[in-house]
Structure formats: structure tokens, C-alpha cells
Amino acid sequence: MGTVNTMSRRIKVSIALVIATLVGVAGAPVASGAVSRALPGTDCPVFPVDNYWNTRVDSLPVNPSSSAWVANMHPASNLHPDFGPSFGEQPVPYGIPVTIVDGAKRVAVKFEYADESDRVRYPLGNATLIEGGASSEGDRHAIVVDARTCTLFETWNTRRTGSGWTAGSGAVWSLRSNKLRPASWTSADAAGLPILPGLLRWDEVRSGHVDHAIRFTTDVTQRAFIWPARHQAGSTSDTAFPPMGARFRLKAGFSTDGYSPRAKVVLDAMQKYGLVLADNGSPWYFQGDASTGWPPSLIEELKRIPAAAFEAVDTTPLRVSLGSAAVRQ
């Protein structure tokens, strides 16, 4: 992957495949199949195979609020890939980069939202890749994976100043654990979720498989969050608008005729795994890694996907515990 700094760690991709039947409260099968592949440059899974992000939702029931939510999310618009070539608009590709380190030195970070941040030392340094580039005025996310410990570090509004590193917020996860953040805590994302598992990565699209849900945004959200989200940043109490953590999937009947094989890889993931509402932003913008490999033609194809072809999913049957992202098996 073009933006992953392997730091001399040899790529070793292992595939773990579990085919399971998930049973809801009515006793009917609700989902099957989960895949967790190692993150390139590491031996680390992108969370366990039974994690919410890695679980298919194509057999789950439609959420009762689906029609209302979609109606308030600009249904006449198309999806927009929030990644790809920047054509000189910024010094790096659009998207959120991932930095891989191997036991790198960790430094103190001063947080704006310290009460909801993990106040530990973070592996930030000269090699850390920041969304939009070092001089960006955007969200400035930094995603760093320590391959030695399989620990994920994510920060928002990440800056290096003369007196050290600062960020708006920061969160840390073990990539081998399903543990969620404390309820009501943010992360580097408004929903309090990790960003990494929801990034569409060029390496996986190129290989022909995307086995996880994809992170996306919309402009108006409810002042609420649903499992496994931990935090909200909404502007309305109207339940006709989606809460943080709402999950949507491309309808099974959507025709992929006319799309290229690589675009169909993405469409297949949207039908099987769906999209997770994780932040406020432009409606139906979905996020990917800041790889130099994204073909401009593919980016243009993905802009043709209609928002009206999506429906919200009821993920309640998957939940085992409010404090865990593990799904019912």
C-alpha cells in the first residue's frame, strides 16, 4: 500500500476464515461469514474475526428507521470517495494515511479533549503520516500501528509544535481485542470508534477482496449513538435523522452492470458489509487510505453509486455486550 511505512517489517499476510451462523432473538440466521486478514506490513489482524467491522450484514433485517434516515441524508446525491489523487490540490493524495512502526519511541501528547482521550505516550515522530500533509488545515488524522505489539493509535487534529505534539483527541486499541471505549467517550472519530477498520484500502481492492464495513459521514446527525458507537456529535434530537454508529448497506437488488471489476469489489463489500456512520461531514463521503495507487478512473466510477440505493440495517441481533464489539455467533 503506497502510504504504509513498513519500517523494515516484512509483509506477511495471513488469512483467518470463520464461517458462522449468527442467531438473533427470533432464532433466525442473521449473518454468516467473517474474514480478518493481517494488515500489510504486520502480523496483526485489523481486529478479531468476530469483530463488528468484520461481520457481514447482508442477511440482517432492515432497520425500522431506514426510510426516514435515508430521506434525511440527501438521497438524490451520489456517494463520494473521500480519497484518491489530489492532482496538486495538496502535496499528498486525498485520504487517511496509515503509518506502521516497529516498537518506535513513544512521546507525550497534549490533548484538547483530555478527559476522553487515552493519556498514554504515542509513537509519533518524523515518519508519522498526517492526513492532508504536514501543513494541512483539515482533520489531520494520524493512524499509527505498532506492529510489535499490534497496538493501534489514532489522533485527530494532530500537530507537532515547538513544545511537542498536540491533538484534539486520541485513542488506543489492541488490534487483538474487541473491547470498546467507555460509553460517551470520543476517539479520533465523532462516533468513538476506530478509523482504521473502516478505511477502504487500495491493497485490498487491488487483491480483489474487501472483507469489512466502510466508514462514512453525513452532514446532520441525531444527538444519539447506537452500538458499537460510544459518542455522538449531533445537531438535532429528531429521530428521523441517523445516530452515530448507524449501519447502511447497498441493496441486494442494485445492479453492478457497467462497473469495472475493481469497482465491483467495492460494491460487493457495500452489499455484504455495508457502511458505518462514524462522523459528521459531507453527506455520503466514504473514506479510504491515502495511497498513491488509486486509479483516477476507479474514483470516478465510485462517484456513480446512488445514495438512494442504500438501506439502514438493524444490527441489534449481533450485539453480545454493550462494552464489546464482538458479535453473536
Q: Of the ranges 15-24, 59-68, 138-147, 193-202, which one carries the lowest mean pLDDT score?
A: 15-24
Instruction: Give the pLDDT of residue 34.
Output: 73
- For the segment 138-164, the average pLDDT, to the nearest whole number, is 97
Contact 180, 323 (CB under 8 A): yes
**% of the chain exceeding 90 in pLDDT:** 88
DSSP-assigned letter for residue 115: G
246, amino acid identity: A
Tell which residue, 63, 41, 137, has the closest CA to residue 317: 63
Given a cut of 90, whether residue 5 has pLDDT beyond it is: no
Indicate the pTM of the whole model.
0.90
What are the beta bridge partners of residue 39?
none
pLDDT tens for 158-174 read 999 999 999 999 999 99
* Phi, psi angles (nearest 5°) of residue 172: -130, 135
Instruction: Give the pLDDT of residue 237.
Output: 98
- For the segment 41-45, the average pLDDT, to the nearest whole number, is 97
- For the segment 128-151, the average pLDDT, to the nearest whole number, is 97
Does 56 or 5 have the greater pLDDT score? 56
Given a cut of 90, whether residue 11 has pLDDT beyond it is: no
User: Three-class SS string for 52-91?
Assistant: HHHECCCCCCECCCHHHHHHCCCCCCECEECCECCCCCCC
